[in-house]
Structure 1
Amino acid sequence: MSAMVERATGSTMTRSLRRVRALARSELRMLLRNRTAMFTALVLPVMTVGALSSMDLGDDTGLSMASLTVTMLAGFALLYVVYYNLVTAYVGRREDLVLKRLRVGELTDAEILTGTAVPSVLVAIVQIVLTWAVASIAFGLDAPVNALLVLVGVAAGVVIFVLLAAVSTAITRNVEMAQVSALPVLFVCMIFSGMVVPTSNMPDLLQQIVQFVPLTPVIDLVRLGLTGQTPDGDTVGFGASFAEAAVPAAIAVVWVYVGWWALRRWFRWEPRT
């Protein structure tokens, strides 16, 4: 009996992965045809990080320019490539009634949202990996203190900003409005998450507040995994990094829960009448 259940479960998962893969291929083709989306995904994060890196922020942050660049690119990739691109993608598919038609078929709601998100997520991950590889070769970036925390941070960031992108569609009437509706999240995360200037350089009261910005726990985990630098500005080794990761990891879990709850409550599958 248990073997039959396992086979049925495996077969269901296989079919689900095939449906997600088919939808993701379709979304990738549309992404490649959209010059604005490709510019946002591939050029804008790199340009922004390059401009900020030229300001010699490493001297003020206590980080090497290589680790600062990788951390910034990770943050900008999540904001621009995952969050902003997906706000426009979800709204565009909703307004064109694509989401409504997809729900009539075999695809589940989770498969539709996941398949739409896969191309943007893959582009963001490729950007982050390539930036880390270039920084390691060109700037002599040391091996990560705790690579597991880097992976956890990036994975948490992907989930958080996919969910936030879906939630943001509730206040976005059309694709053009995405440029406005996405601004609050982009602005707050870029200024107060610590991806450019560590939160340890901020006033104490502000530090307590900004740790709950959705990108902050992601940046804290990535920076801690790369360099061993804690949110307080101290430096720890491999073993101690797990204890230091507890708070940002917990905050990231809260954001995942909040995002999932908000998606279920406010996400619209059809245009507003």
Structure 2
Amino acid sequence: MSTAVAHLTALSRVELSLFARSKTNLFNVLVIPVLITMGTTTFMDQYDLAGAGLAMGQVMISTSAGIVLVMALYAPLTGVYVLRREDHLLKRLRTGEVNDTVILASPAVPMVVVAVLQFALIAAAVTVIAGLGAPAAPHLALLGILLGALLTTAVAALTTAVARTAESAQGVSTMGFLFLLLTSGTLIPMGVLPDIFGDVLGYFPLTPAISLVQSGWTGEDAGLGSTLIRVATIVAWTALATWGVRRWFRWEPRD
């Protein structure tokens, strides 16, 4: 086992232990996304889903993907990064043998695992309740949720650049998750929007990931060309966010 992997494994275990000790974290990450996903069915009924060729169950699965990625990963991870910075933990870790990538990845690993498992459980429950049957292209759903997790992790780290304290991180991340939810097809299915809006929003950061998840269940737009375009869009946004992290991420408390 390489040194970097050993460091990542050890730090991730510590982060998982800290996460599991907080009842507030467990409730916010495990319960609230489920409740919000259930609550979205109320206003989803207002859309002409049938006219757009969509079924409620399929929409709820892609909606749950966005909610989990944003509310169970992006928002809490932003707060964790800021807290670790304010506690001088990030600065202390940098004085040792641990490289920057491992330091930033270690808080994200347990949250990504929890988010992916949570999405899988919600998707399985919705599939059974709605009688959807097996997904048409499960590999696309898996690809979407994993790439989406990578993107939201990078965006969470970037968001901390404008958050001075843990308290301000809550406000900043709230604006961030509202932007991600409203522009990704999570709360407003792309199929019910005019084509021009759907085409433009298709190139927003989280939209391709949600679209891949939806294609995984519906089988639509599952061709190689369409998939590559969406993957390339996610990778481009992730690379841009990563560049921003390298340039603006702060390792010490802000004055």
Deviation larger for 141-150 or 59-68 = 59-68
CA distance in 2 between counterparts of 1:58 and 1:45 reads 21
Structure showing greater relative contact order (alpha-carbon pairs closer than 8 Å, 6 or more residues apart): 2
Cα drift, residue 224 of structure 1:
1.0
CA distance in 2 between counterparts of 1:267 and 1:49 reads 32
Letter in 2 for 1:162: T
Letter in 1 for 2:100: D
Pairing of 1:1-273 with structure 2 (within 5 A)? 11-12=1-2, 15-57=3-45, 60-61=48-49, 62-230=53-221, 241-273=223-255
Cα drift, residue 247 of structure 1:
2.2
Letter in 2 for 1:86: L
Instruction: Render the CA deviation track for 1:53-86: whole Å, top value 9, x for unaligned.
Output: 2445397223333222221111111001110011
Cα drift, residue 272 of structure 1:
1.6
Letter in 1 for 2:31: V
Letter in 2 for 1:173: R
CA contact (8 A) 1:224 1:241 kept: no
CA contact (8 A) 1:145 1:226 kept: yes
Letter in 1 for 2:233: I
CA distance in 1 between counterparts of 2:228 and 2:110 reads 30
CA contact (8 A) 1:221 1:245 kept: yes
Instruction: Render the CA deviation track for 1:158-180: whole Å, top value 9, x for unaligned.
Output: 11000000000000011111121
Structure whose alpha-carbon radius of gyration is higher? 1
Provide the aligned C-alpha RMSD in A: 1.8
Unaligned runs of 5+ in 1: 1-10, 231-239
Instruction: Render the CA deviation track for 1:152-205: whole Å, top value 9, x for unaligned.
Output: 111110110000000000000111111211123211221221123322322333
CA distance in 2 between counterparts of 1:192 and 1:257 reads 19
Unaligned runs of 5+ in 2: none
CA contact (8 A) 1:217 1:252 kept: yes
CA contact (8 A) 2:84 2:90 kept: yes
CA contact (8 A) 1:58 1:65 kept: no
Aligned length: 252
- Give the alignment's TM-score, normalised by structure 1: 0.86
Letter in 2 for 1:138: I
- Give the alignment's TM-score, normalised by structure 2: 0.92
CA distance in 2 between counterparts of 1:270 and 1:193 reads 33
CA contact (8 A) 2:75 2:174 kept: no
Deviation larger for 37-46 or 27-36 = 27-36
Instruction: Render the CA deviation track for 1:13-62: whole Å, top value 9, x for unaligned.
Output: xx322211111111112212223322220111111110112445397223
CA contact (8 A) 1:146 1:241 kept: no
